[in-house]
Structure 1
Amino acid sequence: MLLTDQEYIRFSRHIMLDEVGEAGQIAIKQAHILIVGMGGLGCAAAQYLAAAGIGQLTLIDHDNVEVSNLQRQILFTTEDVGGAKVTIAKNKLTAINPKVKINTFYQSVFDLNLTALMPKVDVVLDCTDNIDTRYFINYTCLKAKRKLVSASAIQGQGQLISFDFAQKGSPCYQCLVPEKVSSTRNCSSLGVLSTLLGVMGSLQATEVLRLILNEYQILNQLLIFDAWQMSFKRLVLTADPECQCCKHPIKG
């Protein structure tokens, strides 16, 4: 697969980077990224990935746009209220980059065969805010030995971590969060700074591009961003020998 003349122009600022170059941009063009959740994180990540030249995006979300989403879910406008998030996102991402192929699933991730999608996907983005969903995505990626980039944002703090489950001995998301936290701890109940979603979604997109370009230095490291202090911390995660997911997998 080669780049067209128009793609050379469009992605010239990437191509001139030593870390990307023509080969890297071709790798980006060939990549297929799955995004679960088109809320604040998914909106930001999807826009940057489409603009960066990702070849294929698959979007999963069962929600419609609500007025309260507009504070942080920047793909959507007032006119979009009531519409399916994935449908509106597809139209707007296509406007950003008509060359990206976009697949949509207007349904819960629990209601589709996520495992069947895995062989076609290079990296999965968990942009959800529900612990049951996060556990499910983590387990599915683990079984399929896929790369997973997970982010969260609540109040003024964001977290980012990525895994490559093809690597032997990799920890997983459940090693980080072994106990289910209360489902009431989310943006709806505790609030969130709007721009924090943009920061964390952009970091997710950045990590996806890094992984496509074979940059694996921060795998299994929890990045914590405090918006109020404008500070970052990084913690190394190791596999939990008692993990119910990666060390004692659920049968089925």
Structure 2
Amino acid sequence: MSNATLKYGSPLQSFLDASFFQELCRLKLDVLKLDSRGQPLFACLDTSYAFKARNSVPLSLDERTFQSESLRSSSGVPIHGVLHNFNRFEEFKSLDKQEFVRDRATEMYDAGLKNINDCVSFHVISFADLKGYRFYYWVCVPCFQKKTFSIKVLETRRLKVAEKYQKWFEKRLDHWVALLNDQNELIPYNRQDARTCKALIVRDTCRLDNIPSALTKNFLTIFNHDSPDRDTIEAVFIRPADTSFALILSLHDLQTDGDEHLQFSGWERNTQNKLGPRGVDLSSLIDPLKIADQTVDLNLKLMKWRLVPELDLEKVKGAKALLLGSGTLGCYVARALMAWGVRKITFVDNGNVSSSNPVRQPLFEFHDVGKNKALAAAEAVKKVFPLLDAEGVELSVPMIGHPVTNEEVEAASYERLCKLFDEHDVVFLLMDSRETRWLPTVMGNATGKMIINAALGFDSYLVMRHGNYSDAQGPRLGCYFCHDVFAPKDSMRDRTLDEMCTVTRPGVALMAASQAVELFVSLLQPRTGGPNEETILGELPHQIRGFLNNFSTLKLRTPAYDHCSACCPPVVDSYKSLGWDFVRSALNDHTYIEELSGLAKVQLEAERASELWKIDDVEIDDEMYALN
């Protein structure tokens, strides 16, 4: 090899673990969004694995690479890098790769002039297809050398004893270069001693016999800049085990200064040994459940990129939803909740899937006929998203005006309902009858739970949020029963088929369910003030009434009624103090609630007023008759 031009091996061989791309997904969605600025990377080289790699030390990148703490917890050689993730694939492809490596190498050259150990770094350009879980990347380890600087090998020799040098580098993991002075002492590299040193000691990452890493170009270029008068130098390349070697090098430079005269390299070759990016499709390699957990909220997180940066998705995701009623409304509400990222949904229903249900209730199929609706719905949503915490509870909600026939069973149902209220944050009232909604409404006021109510007519619907006593802003809002002057009673007796079934235009349920869920999500968002309790998503209505006969929507805001059968203070206080005894009395006789709430007195006063109007009408008629 006498007087032969020095040859180099690959500086590093990259290996990107699947966890690296998973963390990139998370950062892109939650942190970076549209920010395409370079992100710092922190890796550690395990030089002991040099001989297990194909031709150089592996540059292993995983999820820890994004955390600076990984450098402190590792015993490897630290190396800093930068991730350049592009928002569009066209940007990734059209990047001027030569200009990119030139700029990065120039930065390394400038840094190396200040500290030779800082002229080593790596860069990763990438594009992440988050929908398909496909990633495109290209790793660059910038290497540079002056165009006018030539390096020739005068002599090659095997280093018999390298332990002294190996131990020196083991104690100084952040050093790439050292000097051997006239006293045969190893000292950190510095410009002054570089001019008189006996040898340049280099940590080498290549595994090829007697061929150093391409990073050597960086070190020798800096060395030549610091010691321009030296035309020869012994370079000792330190590797693990007994593979270290030394080269006597001839250095020749035309003394042309300036980084514009540097030549650059550094792009890694792909698996076809060509200069080009690599692609990874992780959709078939990673546990599908892990992919689903990250990608199920993709569209939601994209909202925060431009449209609603302040959107609090974690609060929505953490909310536990209780759906009382698993029919048409329950099915559509559940799908909308899943789309918003809710992870805990409990279905409650005592009915079974009938053969007429699957076409209108999207969680059910033909083979579900005969199954309990709550259990079948929970099973169905788990098929859509297996990581969803879904539970079905077969339960009859005690109904006001329906006398107790088996107190032990109904008391147990009540206790189970109380437990469900305690375990959840929001309760959706989606049942068929008014009296079924009464007890959950009372419980919602007593416990301060968020209650969202949705009810259907033939061509109309009502969606509302119940007020409760924990509201600190303004007068307490009304509930579903605040417009009634009678307590609910048994409305299910002596009904014809069209009265027993929910007869409604098929599109009404979708409209009501979607607005119920949107109202719930809006309630969880930061308030922005305004007369309508606006949030970052817009207005926060109390009631939404929709009419399909003229395709109109009406927003209403009504205060709580002082004598409401479900939310007035006497009713709520009695429930809190008496519990099941209160409920039992209401079930056996709905007039108990009318007396307690004051509705009976209101009814009596209304009757008296009506009698007075009748008397007035008679007197007016008599007077008119006399005039005639």
- Do these two structures clear the TM 0.5 threshold for a shared fold by scoring above it? yes
CA distance in structure 2 between the aligned counterparts of 1:61 and 1:206, rounded to whole angstroms: 23
Contact 1:163-1:220 within 8 A present in 2 as well: no
Contact 2:542-2:557 within 8 A present in 1 as well: yes
CA distance in structure 2 between the aligned counterparts of 1:37 and 1:81, rounded to whole angstroms: 17
- Which stretch has the larger CA shift, 115-124 or 154-163? 115-124
- Which stretch has the larger CA shift, 12-21 or 132-141? 12-21
Deviations 1:103-133 (A, max 9, x none): 2211212324222222321111000121111
Match of 1:27 among 286, 293, 315: 315
Aligned residues: 250
The correspondence of residues 73-92 of structure 1 with structure 2, limited to 5 A, is: 73-92=361-380
Match of 2:166 in 1: none
CA distance in structure 2 between the aligned counterparts of 1:138 and 1:156, rounded to whole angstroms: 25
Deviations 1:21-70 (A, max 9, x none): 58722222211010000011001000121232212111100110012323
The correspondence of residues 61-210 of structure 1 with structure 2, limited to 5 A, is: 61-110=349-398, 111-113=413-415, 114-165=417-468, 166-167=470-471, 169-179=476-486, 180=488, 182-183=491-492, 188=500, 191-210=503-522
Residue type of the alignment partner of 1:172:
C
TM-score (norm 1): 0.87
What are the ranges of 5 or more consecutive residues in structure 2 without an aligned counterpart?
1-22, 27-290, 399-412, 528-532, 579-628
Contact 2:376-2:392 within 8 A present in 1 as well: no
Contact 1:14-1:20 within 8 A present in 2 as well: no
Offset at residue 164 of structure 1 (A): 4.3
CA gap of 1:94–1:79, structure 2 versus 1, over 3 A, is: same
CA distance in structure 2 between the aligned counterparts of 1:21 and 1:14, rounded to whole angstroms: 11
Partner SS, residue 45 of structure 1: helix
Contact 2:374-2:394 within 8 A present in 1 as well: yes
Contact 1:15-1:22 within 8 A present in 2 as well: no
* Identical columns (%): 21
CA distance in structure 2 between the aligned counterparts of 1:15 and 1:8, rounded to whole angstroms: 10
Contact 1:223-1:233 within 8 A present in 2 as well: yes
CA distance in structure 2 between the aligned counterparts of 1:132 and 1:189, rounded to whole angstroms: 16
CA distance in structure 1 between the aligned counterparts of 2:447 and 2:359, rounded to whole angstroms: 35
- Which stretch has the larger CA shift, 234-243 or 32-41? 234-243
CA distance in structure 2 between the aligned counterparts of 1:191 and 1:178, rounded to whole angstroms: 26
Residue type of the alignment partner of 1:176:
H
TM-score (norm 2): 0.37
CA gap of 1:72–1:190, structure 2 versus 1, over 3 A, is: closer
Partner SS, residue 103 of structure 1: strand
- Which stretch has the larger CA shift, 98-107 or 9-18? 9-18
Contact 2:345-2:391 within 8 A present in 1 as well: yes
Offset at residue 157 of structure 1 (A): 0.7
Partner SS, residue 148 of structure 1: strand
Match of 1:17 in 2: 303
Match of 1:42 in 2: 330
Deviations 1:154-193 (A, max 9, x none): 2111111002422153322221344337445986357211
CA distance in structure 1 between the aligned counterparts of 2:335 and 2:499, rounded to whole angstroms: 21
Deviations 1:54-113 (A, max 9, x none): 121111001100123234212112221111111211121112222211122112123242
CA distance in structure 1 between the aligned counterparts of 2:303 and 2:558, rounded to whole angstroms: 31
CA distance in structure 2 between the aligned counterparts of 1:236 and 1:23, rounded to whole angstroms: 25
Partner SS, residue 442 of structure 2: helix
Contact 2:337-2:517 within 8 A present in 1 as well: yes
CA gap of 1:191–1:39, structure 2 versus 1, over 3 A, is: same
Match of 1:249 in 2: 571
Partner SS, residue 192 of structure 1: coil
CA distance in structure 2 between the aligned counterparts of 1:187 and 1:43, rounded to whole angstroms: 21
Match of 2:556 in 1: 235
Deviations 1:189-242 (A, max 9, x none): 572111211111121122222223346646672211112321101121111122
Residue type of the alignment partner of 2:509:
L
Contact 2:432-2:502 within 8 A present in 1 as well: no
- Which stretch has the larger CA shift, 96-105 or 126-135? 96-105
Residue type of the alignment partner of 1:89:
A
CA distance in structure 2 between the aligned counterparts of 1:81 and 1:21, rounded to whole angstroms: 44
Partner SS, residue 16 of structure 1: helix
Relative contact order higher in (CA < 8 Å, ≥ 6 apart): 1
Residue type of the alignment partner of 1:107:
L
Partner SS, residue 136 of structure 1: helix
CA gap of 1:229–1:100, structure 2 versus 1, over 3 A, is: same
Contact 2:328-2:509 within 8 A present in 1 as well: yes
CA gap of 1:164–1:246, structure 2 versus 1, over 3 A, is: closer
CA distance in structure 2 between the aligned counterparts of 1:138 and 1:75, rounded to whole angstroms: 26
Greater gyration radius: 2
Partner SS, residue 546 of structure 2: strand
Partner SS, residue 197 of structure 1: helix
- Which stretch has the larger CA shift, 40-49 or 240-249? 240-249
What are the ranges of 5 or more consecutive residues in structure 1 without an aligned counterpart?
none
Match of 1:213 in 2: 525
Offset at residue 138 of structure 1 (A): 0.4
Residue type of the alignment partner of 2:481:
Q
- Which stretch has the larger CA shift, 241-250 or 56-65? 241-250
Contact 1:223-1:232 within 8 A present in 2 as well: yes
CA distance in structure 2 between the aligned counterparts of 1:90 and 1:197, rounded to whole angstroms: 19
Residue type of the alignment partner of 1:122:
D
